[in-house]
A = this chain, B = another copy of it.
Amino acid sequence: MMMSPPFDNDALKQALSATSAAVERTMEPELAVPSGPEARVVEAMRYAFFSGGKRLRPFLVLASAELFGVDRQQALRVAGAVECVHCYSLVHDDLPAMDDDDMRRGKATVHKAFDEATAILAGDSLMTLAFELLVDPKTHADPNVRLALIGALARASGHHGMVGGQMIDLSANDHELGEAEIYRLQQMKTGALISFSAEAGGIMGHASPHAQASLQGYARDLGLAFQIADDLLDVEGTPEEVGKATQKDADAGKATLVGIMGVERARKQAEILANQAIEHLSDFDDKAALLRAVAHFAIFRRT
């Protein structure tokens, strides 16, 4: 049975593609290719950054910033920073020593298009660039806001967050992970950066603790819904649809929620999580329409 999306899909698609174009415009000068022989690493950074993708994290930064009337040019710099971290993590995760992927978003991965050493360095300097962006007064006039953004992004990225999650994921072939442990893994590996994105607008807009807590709850449920949708695509999608190899988790014997729950229960769970995410936004008015739409999109998306 085909369900039709219960939200304005066109408006969301438009917003996602506007986000993508705007964040790329913002990052263009930040990724200008220098004239020296170090140009190669910047070319690899550009290849990794300007490679399409949904730009979910930038979208969440912009949409949450809008809730609090934050300047869009400033929010775009934070959006660029979180996307730098996301792209760096993809470049490193794709390496032969990690997930060993040749394709990403329908293109050769960075270590295939360049080489492994350049891919490692490009990932490293994309991460550094994120902090260079955030520290700049152009990102926000209030030094304490810039520091709060830097601290939150560093915590979300490091061994308590994204890197720790990837470490667990890599060890998961050796461990028998239960449902609670997989939730924790996902919360660290992808959830932390998604949460940062949704909270960033609140940090920039000096949101009340109550509003920040709502965004945190929204982001946590949204992140898990997205991850289950990702796992479902890995099971059900074709490489052409998804733009990268599929069936990887099952082949690698990786523990996923879909593997434990089965496809039907997992789909139901993603739906519950998306609805929960939306409920967290009940205090916000129509300005949160796009944040609501993206939660629906999480469970209807095909790529």
Contacts and interface: CB of A to CB of B under 8 A. Distances in A.
Contacts of A172: 37
B124 A92 contact: yes
Interface stretch (A13-21, A61-69, A112-120, A217-225): A112-120
Say how many copies of this protein the assembly contains: 2
A163 B131 contact: no
A85 to B, nearest CB: 9
A148 to B, nearest CB: 9
B135 A166 contact: no
B115 A171 contact: no
A128 B132 CA distance: 13
A164 B157 CA distance: 22
A22 B299 CA distance: 52
Given A168-B36, A171-B37, A127 B127 contact: yes
A13 to B, nearest CB: 33
B163 A41 contact: yes
Is chain A's binding surface mostly helix, strand, loop or mixed? helix
- Chain A interface bracket (under 10, 10 to 19, 20 to 34, 35 or more): 35 or more
Contact of A163 (B125, B170, B184): B125
A29 B165 CA distance: 21
Interface in A128-176: 128-129, 131-132, 135-136, 143-144, 146-147, 150-151, 154-155, 157-160, 163-168, 170-172, 175
A173 to B, nearest CB: 12
Interface string A8-38: 0000000000000000000000000010111
Interface of A: 34, 36-38, 40-42, 45, 88, 92, 95, 97-98, 115-118, 120-121, 123-125, 127-129, 131-132, 135-136, 143-144, 146-147, 150-151, 154-155, 157-160, 163-168, 170-172, 175, 181, 184, 188
9 contacts: A37-B181, A38-B164, A38-B168, A41-B163, A41-B167, A92-B124, A121-B167, A129-B159, A146-B147
